[in-house]
Structure 1
Amino acid sequence: MPIRLAGKALAQLKASIVKSGLYRYADMTALAWRALSENPALVERLRDRFPLIILDEAQDTHGEQLRLLEHVFKQDGAAFQRLGDSNQTLYEDDGAAPAYWTPGPGCIPLDTSRRFGAEIAGIASRLTTRQAQTIVGLGIRPATRVLLLFDEGTIGRVLGAFAEEARALWGDDCDARDVWAVASRHNLPGKKGAWQPKSLVDYHPAYPSEGGSRGKTNLLCRQLQKAAIHHAAGRPPAEVGEMLAVGISGLARAHGWKAANDRPITAHNIWAALAHRDLALPRAIRRLLRDNVLAGDAVWDEAAWLTFLKQLLPLFSPCPQGADAEIADLCSFVAEQKADLADLERRSTKQVQFGELKLRLGSIHSVKGKTVDGILVVESQIWKGSEHCIDLTTVLPRAFGVTDQPFKGVELTAATNVFVGVTRPRELLGLALRKSEATQLVGPATDQGWKIIDLVPQPVL
């Protein structure tokens, strides 16, 4: 395609996306710069309105976003405080200019943690490879640490073995504990090439690959299925409500509806936009969602889905001319195995039930910033550009003091991921590593108080 035509096609695609109320992070920053350029007085008004700014997770702020914040708030008249840990920089962009924020000489070090004790602080300190720290653990209870060894034949037993350790540690209280199994790569099953654990799917094949088919992600039924599952799992109402709003806002946009002042309808303004058309409309739609999606069977049974649509779609009539096919496609039924809402293990493939213990599954990114009772970090593949490595295989020799080898490139990314994972738990930390890669580590780990759980059968002599 000629460059001129490609540019036009890109511009049309961009206009279509913006018309739907969808923006990239870069778009939002660019729009903010435009607003400040056209209305310079906004800067002073923002400083007056927010005299104290605390930027959390500052280590992940870079480029134009960082320049924008410093332009507005790093001036007289505003206190601009940044809290961040360079060793937790998970969202990397080597081309960012200006670069990521890093603590300067005048920063106050935060080297103590009340989340965990000295046991976890020790291994965490050896993983502070971006900016060396000696972390002091002030947690009240000593942590149990386990190193699980497996091979291709026993990888399927890793999660269960960790669950047994959790149940032994907490007993009857384990049903109230927040326990996770996480990996650097969690949504890519690895089937090609020599065997090695590439993702969380290798440990638990039922784990979803990016929530199912990408082609169906934005369909109304798929969005409402997510809301039904989260509602049944007791997730916060605001979280469930946002999923419902995403689905209904997509339906409204397909009908050509707009919010006030001709703005695009989004999940954030959908209910106000509906009320602007008819004050009774938000209540009517929410009641249908409650009865048919959250309390009913519409998203799992096709006949029930069609009955639901017969009540819902007339509320959006008339259908715009020429939009029939688009709306029909958006509202098509997504055939999935019905979630058994009484069975936690079947209800969500992002958690596994072991007796009274619920083991949550996810990426290391998904637990960033969280405090949990226990966590298992399983080794997996990690990529940075064209480079890749297996994270724990790469990182643990340094973590256990076998080597002082500095990290760079994808190795540094692996060390950062593992650091974030091991600093989440209060009382139970597990690492899962192939036995073939553990020869030099078992001795130091044992000396440092780790419990070694070897899942690989011993050869019969």
Structure 2
Amino acid sequence: MIPFITDDDIDEVQVKTGLIFDNERRQAIKSYSDIQACPGSGKTTLIAAKLILLARNWRDESKGICVLSHTNVAKNEIIQRLEKSESGRKLLSYPHFIGTIQEFVNRFLAKPFCRSKGIAIKQIDDDACVKYIEKRLSWKTKRYLEGKPKANISDLQIRYVDGDFEKIIPGFTKHSSSDSYKCLLSIKESMIDDGIFFFREMFEYAQAYLKVNSDVILAIRSRFPLALVDEMQDTSLIQDEILNKIFLYEGSLFQRFGDADQAIFLGDDENSNSYNTSKLKVINTSHRFNSSVALLATRLSTNRISLVSTQADATCQPHTIFIVDESSRRKVLKEFAILCSSLPIDNELAFKAVGGVGKAKKDGLTLQHYFPTFDKGNSNKHFKPKKLIGYFRLAKEFKSCTSSGYKIILEGISRLLSLAGYNYLSVSDLREIIRDSKEKFSVNEKIIVILISDLNDEASWYKNSLELLRLIGLKEWETEVTDYISFSPSSPELSNEIEINNSFVEVVNDRDVVIEIDTIHSVKGETHSATLLLETKYYQYDIHQVLDNIVGLKSELPKGARKKKFMKQIYVAMTRPKYLIGITVDNSRITSTQKEAAVMNGWRIVDLTEADT
């Protein structure tokens, strides 16, 4: 029997944790209605609280709770919350399952089907598949595909259609006797023989398993009488279909969490799933941003959700629309940095500039037009020094102890702890552990001592790094840790880490103001101090297409799937900051009427085309 959660149970959690659950959140915990939770609503905290309350009274040793998410990040956030609770830790092992939708499908559907058919699976990875294909393409086939702009080698996959498997050959709509067709077909057959598959192909095998073995649905339902899904808004149509086949039935307990307004990972032809088109219970109060941000972002809600802030308003810089042209476009980061310099100093929150398109495109408008050295592959999330000293050298590039520098050091310490055998800790979790530790001041003081020391002095590094290890509780370690903390000379590649890591730095009144540049998709789920939205072009100019909504001239939704997608991306960007929103638009794409409306509805206009600044 599924444990019943009462208000008294929730009250007990509030007393123990200091959290407050209002009526909407209580209903989400007690019921199994689908929930749309706005940005900053504390959705992960709510899900974790519900799971802990269920786990406290869970008695069945053969039936469990299935908790699914769209990404590893969301999965790990839930796991980390559960690990802090004695009851929550019960859900981290059999009979329960916590994982991504991909992991669930692989384990319970795709792999069992492939084993039954004698199909070996050695690797499931899109990048590995693309490299495999590229290595085997003939010169003639490469030339053929170059002449087919819409043909993509990542589409060389199997599909389950009408009870049979078909091979999709990019660049061809039907069977062909051409050499290029034969080359691609041969590569696909070799991939299957070698057990190398795209992630999507596992869902095709899963569909086949569900069709040929109806008992598997009953078996999964019996094992998991209760299922929760996080980030439901980003599930593809095939993921949605599989989840519904298994968990959506009369009498089922199947609850989905997400935010349909933030569904930005679906393609233009996959702009809806059963969750995004459902009538959802709404949590519209946010703990992230102030009321002025809530008011502006509300205009971009495709589901017409009125955001409400729980934060006390603080005196901040005005939300600003920067007008640029080709010659002044690169000035906007400096001007935004000057605005940010007056915001409260919060080492836990970054200043970021984001856009929809990161890759350079011919005749396009991308992040590189604002910051020429931007390279998605070299972002802070991708670049990792080989040794701990490299993290400190990287952080030292920032002239003062900023949130960006401190975050880099915590990333290095997190990696150190993983090498020492500890469970993975995110930067936010590590920051929280340090904050609650009795060694808090000693650890942070030692970090500052190392930062201001000569990192080319080997003796100094060993002395300070060993002291840091002692403060964080490491007394013994293996060779792998010894190598990681060992000294290494400064590398020439570190002389320009600020650019390598896609960060713009402006010194304002002796304060380093660091603006991190990234794509909108990469910052989803983050909280910033201030966010600058840079106009980019994906077939059309994104901000221009919804500018009437941004400035308050229109309230109705734009027509067309692409414009709605732009609106959701801009909504995601505008709901990241705690204090300040900035927007950049070309002077050829904003009218005098739009400028007047913007000023009347809470925006300040700064025209960077009028004079050098």
Same fold (TM over 0.5): yes
Q: Taking structure 1 as reference, are residues 379 and 426 closer, same or farther at Cα in structure 2, changes over 3 Å only?
A: same
2:608 corresponds to: 455
The answer to whether 1:177 aligns with 2:349 is yes
Q: Per-residue CA shift, 1:267-290, capped at 9, x if unaligned? A: xxxxxxxxxxxxxxxx88x57984
Q: CA deviation at 1:443?
A: 2.3
Report deviation, 1:35: 4.7
Matches within 5 A, 1:392-411: 392-404=543-555, 406-411=558-563
Give the Cα separation in 1 of the matches to 2:555 and 2:313.
Answer: 29
The whole-number CA distance in structure 1 between the counterparts of 2:192 and 2:409 is 34
Which residue of structure 2 aligns with residue 92 of structure 1?
266
Secondary structure of the residue aligned to 1:442 is helix
User: What is the match of residue 81 of structure 2?
Assistant: none
Superposed CA deviations along residues 174-213 of structure 1, whole A, max 9, x for unmatched, are: 55431210001122155x4xxxx7011000101126559x
Query: How many pairs does the alignment contain?
Result: 353
Deviation at 1:81, TM superposition (A): 1.0
Aligned position for 1:199: 366
Cα drift, residue 30 of structure 1 = 2.0
Match of 1:201, SS?
A: helix
Matched residues in 2 for 1:38 and 1:289: separation? Answer: 52
- Taking only aligned residues, the RMSD between alpha carbons, in angstroms, comes to 3.8
Tell me the percent identity. Answer: 23
Change (3 A) 1:49 1:145: farther
TM-score (norm 1): 0.65
Kept in 1: contact 2:387–2:484 (CA 8 A): no
CA distance in 1, matches of 2:530, 2:191: 41
User: How far apart, in 2, do the equivalents of 1:414 and 1:180 lie?
Assistant: 19
Instruction: Kindly state the Cα deviation for residue 442 of structure 1 after the two structures are TM-superposed.
Output: 2.7
Relative CO higher for 1 or 2, CA cutoff 8 Å, sep ≥ 6? 1
Structure 1: runs of 5 or more not aligned: 213-222, 245-282, 301-336, 383-387
Q: Deviations over 1:103-134 (max 9, x none)?
A: 523x31222222223212222222123x2222
Residue 57 of structure 1: aligned partner: 231
**Cα–Cα, structure 1 residues 36 and 227, in superposed 2: closer, same or farther, change >3 Å?**
farther
Q: Structure 1's 61 and 161: CA in aligned 2 closer, same or farther, altered over 3 A?
A: same
Residue 137 (1) aligns with residue 309 (2): yes
Distance in structure 1 (CA, Å) of the matches to 2:483 and 2:193:
26
For residue 371 of structure 1, report the CA deviation from its aligned partner: 2.1
Q: Is the 8 A contact 2:533 2:573 kept in 1?
A: yes
Aligned-partner Cα distance in 1 for 2:415–2:517: 19
Find the counterpart in structure 2 of residue 425 from structure 1: 577
Label 1:204 to 1:97 Cα distance change in 2 as closer, same or farther (>3 A): closer
Aligned to 1:375: 531
**Pick from 322, 339, 352: which aligns with 2:494?**
339
The aligned residue for residue 289 of structure 2 is 116
- Hey, what's the Cα distance between the residues in 1 that align with 2:323 and 2:414? 37
Superposed displacement of residue 137, structure 1:
2.6
**Residue 281 of structure 2: SS of its match in structure 1?**
coil
- Asked if 2 retains the 8 angstrom alpha-carbon contact of 1:186 and 1:362, the reply is yes
| TM-aligned CA deviation for residue 238 of structure 1 | 11
- The residue number in structure 1 matching 2:505 is 353
- 1:328-370 alpha-carbon deviations (Å, 9 max, x no partner): xxxxxxxxx7233xx6414x24222334232211111111122
State how far apart, in whole Å, the 2-side matches of 1:126 and 1:41 are.
47
Distance 2:249 2:228 in 1: 14
Runs of 4+ more than 6 Å apart: 237-241
Aligned residue identity for 1:396? L
- Which runs of 5 or more structure 2 residues have no equivalent in the other structure? 1-140, 142-174, 392-407, 420-477
Work out whether residues 54 and 82 of structure 1, in 8 Å CA contact, stay in contact via their aligned partners in 2.
yes
Compute the displacement of 1:297 (Å): 7.2
Conserved 8 A contact 2:378-2:501: no
